[in-house]
């Protein structure tokens, strides 16, 4: 899917909020031309964390992952644009900040595999973006609008 209205789920993780990087993450995605269509500053509870990271429930790091993502507030967001899911993943960089290229969000700010600043829906997992958006947002919490700088951005 590469329509201009593709939506993806993004989250500034607890470490990003604690370190004051929420705005930086939003700025980078905005400047890239992606359009913010939903945002929620929230604390994730155990149940939502386990559902969100359900694909990892059998992994040895699952409990640690759930503990971290519930450890403090996050900024949950929905961003829209052409090929948005893959574009955000590109901007995030590799999962382990040690492997993430400079210029990517994790490459510039991530500390380690656990504290890697940002989540974005996996573009290689068909429908992950829509599933995650639905998990965090009601449809009426997403805003349909045009940016004034269209057609230069999405």
- Residues of this chain that bind ligand RTP (CB under 6 A): 56, 61, 65, 95, 113-114, 116, 119-120, 122
With CB atoms as reference, the residue minimizing the distance to Mg ion is 122
Please enumerate, by residue number, every residue annotated as part of a binding site. Answer: 13, 61, 89, 95, 106, 116
Give the binding site for Mg ion (CB under 5 A): 122
Q: Which is nearer to ligand RTP, 122 or 153 (CB)?
A: 122
Is 119 in the active site? yes
Helices 84-92 and 22-31 cross at an angle (nearest 10°) of 130
Q: Which is nearer to ligand RTP, 40 or 56 (CB)?
A: 56
Q: How far apart, in Å, do the first and last CA atoms of the chain sit?
A: 15
Catalytic residue among 3, 56, 119, 123: 119
With CB atoms as reference, the residue minimizing the distance to ligand RTP is 95
Please enumerate, by residue number, every residue annotated as part of a binding site for ATP. Answer: 13, 61, 89, 95, 106, 116
Q: Which is nearer to Mg ion, 86 or 154 (CB)?
A: 86
* Cβ 52 to ligand RTP shortest distance, Å: 8
Angstrom distance (rounded) from CA 136 to CA 40: 9
Give the closest residue to 104 by CA, choosing from 91, 122, 118. Answer: 91
Angstrom distance (rounded) from CA 26 to CA 107: 16
Q: Collapsing DSSP states into helix, strand and coil, what is residue 35? A: strand
Angstrom distance (rounded) from CA 24 to CA 57: 31
Q: Which residues are catalytic?
A: 119
């Amino acid at each position: 899917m590469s329509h201009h209205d593709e939506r993806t789920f993004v989250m500034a993780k607890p470490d990003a909020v604690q370190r004051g990087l929420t705005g930086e993450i939003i700025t980078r995605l905005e400047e890239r031309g992606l359009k913010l269509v939903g945002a929620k500053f929230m604390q994730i509870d155990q149940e939502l964390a386990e559902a969100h990271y359900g694909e990892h429930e059998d992994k040895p790091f699952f409990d640690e992952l759930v503990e971290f993502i519930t450890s403090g507030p996050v900024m949950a967001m929905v961003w829209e644009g052409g090929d948005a899911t893959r574009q955000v993943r590109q901007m995030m960089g590799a999962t382990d900040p040690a492997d993430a290229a400079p210029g990517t969000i994790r490459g510039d700010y991530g500390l380690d595999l656990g504290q890697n600043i940002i989540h974005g829906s996996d573009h290689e997992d068909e429908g992950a973006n829509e599933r995650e958006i639905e998990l965090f947002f009601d449809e009426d919490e997403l805003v349909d609008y045009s940016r004034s700088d269209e057609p230069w951005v999405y």
